[in-house]
Amino acid sequence: MRPWLLALVALAACKRVDSAEVGKKVFHFAVRSQIASFDPVHASDEGTSIAQALVYEPLLQYDYLERPLVLRPLLLAAMPEVSEDQLEYTFTLAPDARFADHEAFAGGVGRTVTSTDVVYSFKRMADPANTPKGWWVFSERIVGFDAYKKAQSAAERFDYEAPVEGFVIHDERRFTIRLTAPYPQLLYVLAMPYTAVVAKEVVEHYGERFARNPVGTGPFRLARWAPGVELDFVKNPTYRDARYPTPTSDDVPSELAAAAGQRVPFLDGVRLHIYPQEQPMWLKWRVGDLDAILVPSDYQTALFDRSQTLRPQFVEDGVSMYAYERIDFVLRGVNMLDPIVGGFGRGKELRKALAAAYDVEEIGRAFYDDSITPYAGPIPPGLAGHDPELREPYRGPNLPLAKALLAEAGYPNGEGLPPLEISLYRGGSSPEQGEMLRRQWSKIGVELDVKLYSWPELSRRVAQKQVQLFALAWNSDYPDAENNLAMFYGPNEAPGSNHFNYARAEYDRLYERVRVMSPSDERTKLYEAMRDMVIEDAPYFGGFARKRYYAYNRRVSNFRPDETWWTWLKYVDVEARRP
């Protein structure tokens, strides 16, 4: 018997149900990364965003049922009013949006969310003391906000009461955001975890401990946090009267539409289990200790056959599967400041040689069960500017081309080229992927050292420009190619989203044009021009999108995950636990 089957038998033998959960609806879900913080301005990774979304809410969210994604009010009474010149957005908060009860509030009773709370939360993104990771969503966008950030950052004390011309508060429920130029992505930004609303009383009550003590407007409250192991959330008893959405199209499956109009959340609680390693997560799910998981790529073959159909034993066990097309950009990146692989001289030819020797299809077969979609350029499938027929001229495997390009770069058969170094996350299959890349490049005489780091350390090294090559998976923050193209905008260099430190004046000029344009054929053509520049300069190689597969057990219903947003967990339902 295989070792993992023996482990499965052992787990099944000792499986028990927590007595505190008997008779209650508690959803057990797994995340792959550590929870870094409960401060919304730190919400830059998937695990942290999932956890925060249970407690905190931004102004907007996406419709749980409709595809393509459609924005809906969350803390708002209705979608905002937009001026004809698209420079002013006026918002009205929902009258029943309120913070959960907490001792930080007068009498320990949570209060209604106000316009002042929203502006305060946005100002926290400008305060360097908060180490915000999402300032880029507001930078150069809101009238007077950049000047406010600069002045307050230089002052002896950051003054949250100082006015910002672009934030106009009309009354407790109505406020206006004034823009420096049209910003078509603003509403997408207001659905991101960075822009979730917090209460000043709570921030001041906890001080430096705020990031570990969340109090928000969301459907759940954090009850317990065992760092590195799990987090328990319980239903917020004062959560407003929110309802499961009603389908507006005919293509929503009936099993998802059945709960339309019912009050949410259905769950009494959520337990997030942290599993950096795939095997323990898979085994825990198979014995029923987890209700749903994102299926690890190494286990997709075990779950379903080549036609993507569940194998009979899983059907008999009551397992269901949800396939999700991610707005995904997975790649091997280059630090363009590196003296060997960077720049626009011989480094450019070297990058093309490395791309031509890289076999992304082999990576897909070995680690993703052939469930990846390689594509040309940085714009994922499904977004304006993506061309499914386009092929990068340097995409591998093409060893003759790789060798010719390597010689053109001045390193025939790798002669004179020092060993290159790629920095990778030590979890999952990253180490094995690094070794496969090392083997692939050895065929053209290139040596590769694979360096493995924890996720926080890898993130720090990339942010501080201390890497030569690296791996990156970018899930678009919103369904607009502008988000991906911003990754190559010069002023966004690390620690911003431009992890490549790519800088090309012509590209930057085009980005500054498209960032204020509404969707149109003209904008799409500019997206395509920028895409082609990135392809030619090769600051990355081997881009592909992943298809995600979620598996869930028979006790779960209303399950339609989407990794662009995470406030959907309140719509999930499970059967009550039995002894």
Same domain, 348 and 221: no
Kindly report the average pLDDT of the chain as a whole number: 92
What CA–CA distance (Å, rounded) separates 256 from 558?
5
Last residue of a domain, one of 211, 243, 275: 243
Residue 220 shares a structural domain with residue 343: no
Which range marks the domain in which residue 197 is found? Answer: 19-243
Phi, psi of 77 (to 5 degrees): -75, -25
What is the pTM for the complete model shown? 0.84
Q: Could you tell me if residue 35 is inside a domain?
A: yes
Instruction: Kindly state whether residue 191 falls inside one of the protein's structural domains.
Output: yes
At residue 259, what are phi and psi to the nearest 5 degrees? -90, 5
pLDDT, mean of residues 528-540: 97
What tens digit of pLDDT does each residue of 179-189 get? 999 999 999 99
pLDDT given for residue 198 in this prediction: 98
Residue of 52, 23, 59, 58 lying closest to 222 (CA atoms): 52
> Do residue 376 and residue 524 come from a single domain?
yes
Q: Is residue 441 part of a domain?
A: yes
How many angstroms from the chain centroid is the CA of residue 202? Answer: 26
Number of domains in the chain: 2
Residue 347 lies in a domain: yes
CATH assignment of the domain containing 192? 3.40.190.10
Rg (CA), the chain: 24
CATH at residue 502: 3.10.105.10
- Please tell me the least confidently modeled range out of 7-11, 87-91, 251-255: 7-11
Q: Where is the domain boundary, 243, 258, 278?
A: 243
Alpha helices, DSSP H, located in 95-144: 115-123
In a shared domain, residues 392 and 512: yes
- Torsion angle of alpha carbons 53, 493, 189, 222, nearest 10°? 10
d(CA 575, CA 561): 18
Question: Does the residue 554 lie in any domain?
Answer: no
- 456 SS3 class: helix
Does 262 reside within a domain? Answer: no
Give the other-Cβ count within 10 Å of 112's Cβ.
16
pLDDT at 278: 84
Are both 62 and 191 inside the same structural domain? yes
Range of 92-96, 135-139, 225-229 with top mean pLDDT: 92-96
Phi-psi region of 538 (alpha: psi -120 to 50; beta: other; left: phi over 0): left
pLDDT confidence tier of residue 12, bands split at 50, 70 and 90: very low
pLDDT in tens, 288-318: 999 999 988 778 778 877 667 888 888 888 9
Longest dimension (CA), the chain: 75
Question: At 14, phi and psi to the nearest 5?
Answer: -105, 10
pLDDT at 8: 45
Query: Both 534 and 400 in a single domain?
Result: yes
Query: Model confidence over 330-362: pLDDT tens digits?
Result: 999 999 999 999 999 999 999 999 999 999 999
Residue 155 placed within a domain: yes
Is 504 found in the same domain as 403?
A: yes
Given this model, what pLDDT does residue 9 score? 41
State the Cα angle at 394 between 337 and 360, rounded to 5°.
Answer: 90
Of 185, 220, 243, the position where a domain reaches its end is 243
pLDDT at residue 261 is higher than 60: yes
* DSSP-derived 3-state class of residue 154: helix
Residue 43 placed within a domain = yes
